[in-house]
Amino acid sequence: MTPCTGPKTRTITQAGVPHLEPLSQLLNAHRVTQGFAHNLPAVSHFLFERLINHEAVHFIALNPGNAPDTPAQGLGFIQLYPAFSSESLMPYWTIGAFYVAPEVRGQGIGNALIAQALQLVRERGDEGVRVALLPTQPEASRLLEHAGFQANTDRTSYQFTVKSQQQ
């Protein structure tokens, strides 16, 4: 676990099944900001499958509970999916989702989550990290650029959706 800066003790840890509840709440909140309907059961099921099948890596920022029986509060998370480049012949990671709760933005949590993701990539010796942002996400663009990400102006991105569910 890596401590975050801020007035309270916060930790960044790789999420597992024990973190399913706070991780689900954060992903659900992220999806709502992206225009999807609130659906905590579907989000929890989706994340559970990713976690037990080791299909993604999730880092979560937690504010530990004040009492031994108080659950930790999720403050933010970053979700990484592995991929492979046929050009560089190396693995790379794609950020599938990245979210910091509005009430704790500006406290270094987003920077800490990105730093943890980049540490994973460096430790593994992988090519890097890719992410696609909506034009309505200037704060995320600034945060990524501050961390060293560069906009890819060499390529145009396309998408073909076979099935879309508004879950």
CB 81 within 8 A of CB 51: no
Q: Give the model's pLDDT for residue 101.
A: 96
Q: Give the model's pLDDT for residue 66.
A: 66
Which element (helix H / strand E) includes 146?
helix 138-146
What is residue 35's DSSP assignment? Answer: T
Q: Give the model's pLDDT for residue 1.
A: 38
Q: Would you kindly state where each structural domain of the chain is located, as residue ranges?
A: 2-146
Among 69-83, 92-106, 111-125, name the one with the lowest average pLDDT.
69-83
Q: Give the model's pLDDT for residue 136.
A: 78
CB 31 within 8 A of CB 55: no
**Cα of 163 vs its chain's centroid, Å:** 23
Positive or negative, the CA dihedral 141, 36, 100, 160 is negative
Query: By CB neighbour count within 10 A (0-12 exposed, 13-18 middle, 19+ buried), where does 25 fall?
Result: middle
Among 17-26, 37-46, 97-106, 153-162, name the one with the lowest average pLDDT.
153-162
Query: By CB neighbour count within 10 A (0-12 exposed, 13-18 middle, 19+ buried), where does 161 fall?
Result: exposed
Residue the block writes with tokens 């989550």: 113
CATH 3.40.630.30 describes domain 2-146: yes
